[in-house]
Structure 1
Amino acid sequence: MLGEFQVTEPKAKVLFLATVYTHLAAFHLPFMQLLQDKGCEVHAAASPAEGRKEEVEAIGVRCWDIPFARSPYSPKNLKAFRELRRLLETHRFALIHVHTPVAAFLGRYLAKVTGQGSVLYTAHGFHFYQGAPLRNWLIYCTAERLAARWTDGLIVINREDFDIARRILGFKSGKNLFYVPGVGVELDRFGPSGSPPEKGIRSELGLAPEDIVVTCVAEMSRDKNHGLLLAAWKELASRHTNCHLILVGTGELLPRWKKRVEAEHIPRVHFLGYRRDVPQILRESDVAVLTSRREGLPRSLMEAMAAGLPVVATDVRGSRDLVEHGRMGFLVKLGDVEGLADALERLIKDRELREALGRAGRKKITAFSLDRVLKEMEAIYARFLSGVVG
């Protein structure tokens, strides 16, 4: 099979490149390990500013700190450009797999001018999309059209991006354009595990067995749009006193949302910060919610569906790839506070509906399993490592 390969060139090097190590640690460790198992020497380059570099190093990946900034306008990226160029001038990689807009653009250009091997780019959600601001189309779409000439293979994770890549960027399906269903979800890790533990999240928060738990797992950023969720929760919580909102995640807007909850006296909102026990938190939840302004293919929804939860999400690219309205949850329009509150209320009030939608979601998400994604990525890696594999 095309996807079954083993590196024959001694110590063939592969580089994973992203703006920050947090991205690589959160989404790409299984793919790094896949390439290690195939005989590759795996390297990573990213900024350590947000942490989690140690998780990448822990699996035997050699890390190179490059001071990228998330904003394409930051002057820090000039220094990042120089340091990445120095790295690529002293190492030759058989394959470079780039992620995130800033690192991906600079990495693709420098890979070509320094004579590297194949360059793969995974777009985790283009910044230009249906409904995006005109500025995004002018800046990011222009950059992607320019970078297309330096891209040997483009991987997209939702259907809208696939269409844009084909129609606007000029990629060809099966030749240099590939749809992969996200970064994969470990079905067994998030599946049911019997009775709730004595010291689970419900015990930690002092909740009663009959209390309804609504959980949102998301970075506290503008894109994740927690303001909409808090506005709907304020309205909903006044009508139902047995429901609790759990917010898992950190980010620059965390202090703002804490202040808002306190200032507006929004009841029963629990900020948990960064947690390593997300699978267990989801098992003890009743509903999952995600109110993003934009998505690529949200893994937090995939994990919630794997845990058998009904989901409520905004009707945006990526989320609608996962959620069929009325079948495994509900989709609401961006900015629709009342619609979001109503959708959550339907699930809070109806246990049978929660269970039915949760079962449907669990069934659908099998198509997005990590095992399946690993097989598809193995085939893509084999194609672009063709010069060093047997």
Structure 2
Amino acid sequence: MFLATVYTHLAAFHLPFMQLLQSKGYEVHAAASSDQGRKEEVEAIGVRCWEIPFSRSPYSLKNWRAFRELGRLFKACRFDLIHVHTPVASFLGRYLARVTGQGPVLYTAHGFHFYWGASLRNWLLYYPAERLAARWTDGLIVMNREDYDSAVKMGFRPGKNLFYVHGVGVDLKKFAGGTGSINIRERLGLGKNDIVVTCVAEFSTVKNHAFLLEAWSRFIARTKDTSLWLAGDGYLRPYFERLVLEKRIGRVHFLKFCRDIPQVLQETDIFVLVSRREGLPRSLMEAMAAGKPVVASNVRGNRDLVDHGRTGFLVELDDVEGLVGYLELLARDENLRLALGRAGREKIGDYSLDKVLAEMDAVYSRYLPG
């Protein structure tokens, strides 16, 4: 059983791991809310899907209903292994798995919501919850060094019930090069020598688009023949579309939610991600796999991927002039862009999907019967 708050999470990150278990002869189930779509993608690979009406907000009353329905499911079915993800679903799922006598429970922390620099509210809510849920967790999987250290402090034992895995994996072949049938630059009326800066991220407060756009407005005042591509969806997208128009921030293109991210990255010169927090961002890994230099906020997860000055640059949160400076440096120096891109692609080999599948196979083998 794969359990998460929403099916969008399972469809985006976990299909290869479901298929790994299917290839070994296991029947795979999934449970989540389909409010945001993509449930059909999970069903399409032969996974038995259950509808559990979780809400991402830990304060939502919908989670009481989800708790009851998941409890009924666990009383009716016993699973040999349950792999939980995302804060709300993982907390409720771990408790119910223990009280209903399920098989072992693995929990992947895609970035603890308590971390260095997090709000007091996050620490007061999520840290005690994770300490409590640790007693219902047979194995914890983390994907960055800060979370690994936090897990050790909570009593997890490396190699026993604590495992470091290199994220959710990147299919390196998809980002190796070549061009698709769509020429995005041509459609947008850009020249082949224009410098394209791209951010692929959900439009939310966490991804910090306001910071990026403030820096961009200063950057374009000093440069020409540059464009910013914003790819992604999210509840704040309409707000930022209006902001760009009202403040007349030039050379910004909102790409409609696009599944052809490899093509977007092939036509990109510089990738930027200035999130306020991360676990281990796949968009950053994909940009590095495509051989692009990156500029990222100096936060957990980003720090694990970006070697400052070798594969890209790390900028402090809300250091607008620092971000502008790194963008200017990369925009005017093609050789630097190419050198950083090559180094990034070399580093991201450790995060390839094949390697991560092997890491997860080893973890699953510890807990699955026979």
Task: Give 4+ residue runs of structure 1 displaced > 4 Å after superposition.
Answer: none
- 1:200–1:281 contact (8 Å) kept in structure 2: no
The normalised TM-score by structure 2 is 0.99
1:8-54 residue CA offsets vs partner (Å, 9 max, x unmatched):
xxxxxxx0000000000000000000000011100000000111111
Match of 2:259 among 266, 276, 282: 276
1:364-383 residue CA offsets vs partner (Å, 9 max, x unmatched):
00011000000000000000
Number of paired residues? 370
**Aligned residue for 1:257?**
240
More RCO (CA 8 Å, sep 6+): 1
1:76-118 residue CA offsets vs partner (Å, 9 max, x unmatched):
1000000100111101000000000000000000000010000
* C-alpha distance in 1 between matches for 2:97 and 2:362: 22
1:204-247 residue CA offsets vs partner (Å, 9 max, x unmatched):
21211110111111011111111100000011012212011001
**Aligned residue for 2:161?**
176
**Aligned residue for 2:11?**
25
Pick closer, same or farther for the CA change 1:94–1:232 going to 2, 3 Å: same
Task: Name the amino acid aligned to 2:276.
Answer: R
* C-alpha distance in 2 between matches for 1:199 and 1:259: 27
**Aligned residue for 1:305?**
288
Aligned counterparts, 1:281-360, within 5 A: 281-360=264-343
SS for the counterpart of 2:327 is helix
Q: How far off its partner does 1:197 sit?
A: 4.9
SS for the counterpart of 2:216 is helix
Percent identity, please: 68
Match of 1:69 among 30, 55, 65: 55
Task: Name the amino acid aligned to 1:342.
Answer: G
Q: How far off its partner does 1:133 sit?
A: 1.0
Aligned counterparts, 1:195-214, within 5 A: 196-197=179-180, 199-214=182-197
* C-alpha distance in 1 between matches for 2:184 and 2:19: 31
The normalised TM-score by structure 1 is 0.94
Q: How far off its partner does 1:199 sit?
A: 3.1
**Aligned residue for 2:170?**
185
Aligned counterparts, 1:223-242, within 5 A: 223-242=206-225
- In structure 2, the gaps of 5 or more residues are none
* C-alpha distance in 2 between matches for 1:177 and 1:257: 40
* C-alpha distance in 1 between matches for 2:360 and 2:45: 19
Match of 2:101 among 91, 115, 124: 115
**Aligned residue for 1:4?**
none
Does 1:245 find its partner at 2:228? Answer: yes
Match of 1:95 among 81, 86, 93: 81
**Aligned residue for 2:122?**
136
For the aligned residues, what is the CA RMSD?
0.8
* C-alpha distance in 2 between matches for 1:199 and 1:367: 30
